[in-house]
Chain A
């Protein structure tokens, strides 16, 4: 009876150590949590927040754009192509200025 008890104690000790090591390995290979202030990994979606509403000032806007290398934010060499209208089987032609 004493021998069985000893074997049982050794068995519990062995399984406990094995479970501890298994948990250690699992945690070591798990994905790291994102810390506040750290750079988010590529698979975390960063949701942009809406900027607070400020008085709109055209001159300030122009000034901010001229601080960069491109003073005109709009592409003036817009590669626009005219599409040949296709027959629409009865649909009237839609225009951007109908009234």
Chain B
């Protein structure tokens, strides 16, 4: 679904991929759109409940192998936030038959790349390998699905790594802090209020037993599914899956409570002070997500609204707020129509020099008001749909993206086969439906506004300029 364009990562990975060309300046962020490839997928369920989904792509002799568990940070409880992600790290720390580090070593020896990520809704593990290595990858994943060692000494080291990850990606990132605080205010009861990486104090007190409990609760074949995309025959994949995952036994799963968020009764505001130069405004409107692929209308209309507002360089926010009014240096909108929990439609941006956060908030509101009153033009909507269709085809260029798409849909309970229907539903969205959702969901009672109040660095940290510039 559309990439989250807030500065906060949607999920946490085991390893940060360093930017090789740190000085390369991206000039245009391509719009990511929900998409399905046109190739057929095949599915089989093993007797233990594990589902195996295969999409054949024969362009190169490679394969992506992913194991998805339906357990993410939203399944955590107070006092042990972050445990889903910590367990993800511990999954690389060994089983009786493959010791600490052995998993990574064997993937590397196979010429593969591997990583894992934890989101609110799920935890997933993947390897990209030459296709002949799929069997070995399945053997490794099946082994750690049920036989993790969870050595307390390894835990003691790895929890430090996770705390460093939190410092790097949240505590020292003003916009991540802003997003974390915004989320914790917008949701009061639903577990989405908790950051995926966990509160630092919880990490400091997390014990190996917490990780063990989490593993025992959720890591079972009947709470998982395997996605394979690549240059393989689906029957061969099914046979390999049966061989490696088939012997694992199903286990009873805990009952999941809905924990629905009660209605918000008025606007909420918060401020975050952090070392920065640019103010940031982030507005979060409660919004629905897709629960019935066929019957729902509003989530699809909200997706198209996000595309009309901020889907490309000439979309409304960029054209009006950045270019014409010069009110913002950047302004964007983001919305994800698929989630296990409740949805949010975000508007966010930074004001230009000499303009205030309050002025930018008023500008963002004015854009919404314009849609509420006048709807959107036919050519704007057609443009958003053209991008959507192109995005379907571009996605087929990436083995990994195709596997991610299948996995993410299944994670929120939408059968991947309904993807095509979702694309149709998006194409059926009318200008009037967009006007209706703009009026329906963009109300102050549903709104939380967070503002980053930039604090100057201490003098010693400020770069001396321009004398340090070379020329």
- Do A and B associate with each other? no
Residue ranges of B at the interface with A (Cβ–Cβ < 8 Å)? none
